[in-house]
Structure 1
Amino acid sequence: MSLLKKMVTAIRGGANEVGEAIVDSQSLRILDQEIRDANEALRKSRTDLTNVMAQRKLAGDKLDAKQKKLDELEGYASMALEKGDESLAIEIAERIAELEGDVASEREVVENYDASIASLKKSIKQAENTLVRLKQQVDSVKATASVQRAQAAVASRHSGQDASLRTALDSLERIKGKQAERAAQMEAAETVAREENGDDLDAKLRAAGLKAENGSANAVLERLKKKREAGGAE
């Protein structure tokens, strides 16, 4: 596969991914619209059923009228035969034969209407049941989505709190570290200052007992003893 074809394929794949992401993010909205479309189609089916039933009534009335006329002609034909008026009976019979064809045609129309009505009613009932189940499932999906959004919000807040606590602890540790560093620097500065002034060496000599404490009672007493001994020797 050439580089150009690979690039085109990659672009198409990316477009499909974007399209799927859009569909996924809008899935509930799309589903709601599909349900509205199904409801509208169901409403039109009910309207169609009403129209077919009205047409069937008209066709049924027409069939009933022709059947009534046919029954009436058959009665007249019987009466003509009873009177021996065969020519009139034949004329009536011709009219009956013509009318029987019309009645058969009308009956076929009515039967077709009845079949259409039965089929429409069955389809509408199935659609109604399907819509009821679909709406129940959609309500369940929406409830689940709502719970998941709430859980995600709680998890997000908890994560944010953890992050804030970790940040605060890190800040506290940095402050403690800086304070310890500053204390060490001050202690080191004091040590350097003592060394420069000789204080550190004096402190070590006094600690070793090699140098008396200035201003101490023992030092004063020792000095007085030495002075007294020096005076007696003279």
Structure 2
Amino acid sequence: MSFWGKLSIALMGENEHESDKVMDTKALAILDEEVRDATDTLKRVKSDLSDTVKKFAVCKEKVSEFEKNISEYEGYVEQALGKNNEALALDVAEKIAEMENRLSTEQDSAKYFGRSVDELRVAIKQAEQNLRRLKQQVDTVKASETVFRAQAAVAFNGDGDDTRLRTAMDSLARIHQKQAEKSAKITAADEVAQISQDDALKARLAAAGIVASGSRAQDVLARIKSKVSG
């Protein structure tokens, strides 16, 4: 049964105002069935092709065998005639005639199976292309349907979900801000502590006479006085 025939039966008995959603669902189900049926049919045709190829090969082998035997027996006829044995030559000729009849039958069968193989291969190639396109179309429709359902779900939830999302994002931003402020305070305290430690260490070094103490201005004044005195 055709796709449209199945669809008509599926919709039969439904209210004429049936929603598009229900119709689309049934159409997709029927398309899936069509894909399965086409796949099964393609498998059967491929199996038929395999059997036909085998039969074609057998016929060709028989044709080759008959042609070889006929050629061989024709040689026997020539030898019998060469020995003036007309009766033997006639018997062999009758055998040749029988083989030629069988050869003709096998040649006809070989031609038939050969044509069948070619036609089946063309049909399979076309069927595979059609099936591939059908599957792609079905997959595309299903993917679109999934997107539509997701969009519909978001739209159905409305502004409530948007408000909750914004509230959550605002809370997250506040948490990040507080963490940043706390981190800055800790860093500043560490720097102050480090400076205090450095000053204390320099004072100890100056007291021990290891480093110079006093201000930089005193050092400059002492250097100038030394030059003047010199």
Aligned equivalents of 1:18, 1:61: Cα separation in 2: 66
Per-residue CA deviation, residues 53-112 of structure 1 (Å, 9 max, x unaligned), is 122222222222222211111111122222232222222222212211110011101111
Q: In structure 2, what residue type is equivalent to 1:131?
A: L
Aligned equivalents of 1:159, 1:33: Cα separation in 2: 40
Pair 1:27-2:27 in alignment: yes
Aligned equivalents of 1:56, 1:120: Cα separation in 2: 13
Bigger mean CA offset, 149-158 vs 124-133: 149-158
* Structure 1 residues 14 and 33: CA distance shift in structure 2, 3 A: closer
Pair 1:79-2:62 in alignment: no
- Structure 2 residue aligned with 1:166: none
- Structure 1 residue aligned with 2:5: none
Per-residue CA deviation, residues 5-37 of structure 1 (Å, 9 max, x unaligned), is xxxxxxxx9646378965432222221121111
TM-score, normalization by structure 2: 0.58
- Structure 2 residue aligned with 1:66: 66
The number of aligned residues is 151
- Structure 2 residue aligned with 1:131: 131
Aligned equivalents of 2:154, 2:19: Cα separation in 1: 27
Specify every segment of 5 or more residues in structure 1 that has no aligned partner in the other structure, as ranges: 1-12, 163-234
Specify every segment of 5 or more residues in structure 2 that has no aligned partner in the other structure, as ranges: 1-11, 163-230
RMSD: 2.7
* Structure 1 residues 73 and 118: CA distance shift in structure 2, 3 A: same
Aligned equivalents of 2:14, 2:152: Cα separation in 1: 28
Tell me which structure has the larger Cα radius of gyration.
Answer: 1
Q: In structure 2, what residue type is equivalent to 1:17?
A: E
Q: In structure 2, what residue type is equivalent to 1:79?
A: Q
* Structure 1 residues 28 and 34: CA distance shift in structure 2, 3 A: same
Aligned equivalents of 1:95, 1:33: Cα separation in 2: 58
State how 1:32-111 maps to structure 2 within 5 Å.
Answer: 32-111=32-111
- Structure 2 residue aligned with 1:155: 155
Aligned equivalents of 1:80, 1:36: Cα separation in 2: 66
Aligned equivalents of 2:95, 2:47: Cα separation in 1: 39
Over the matched positions of the two proteins, sequence identity in percent amounts to: 41
SS at match of 1:145: helix
Per-residue CA deviation, residues 188-219 of structure 1 (Å, 9 max, x unaligned), is xxxxxxxxxxxxxxxxxxxxxxxxxxxxxxxx
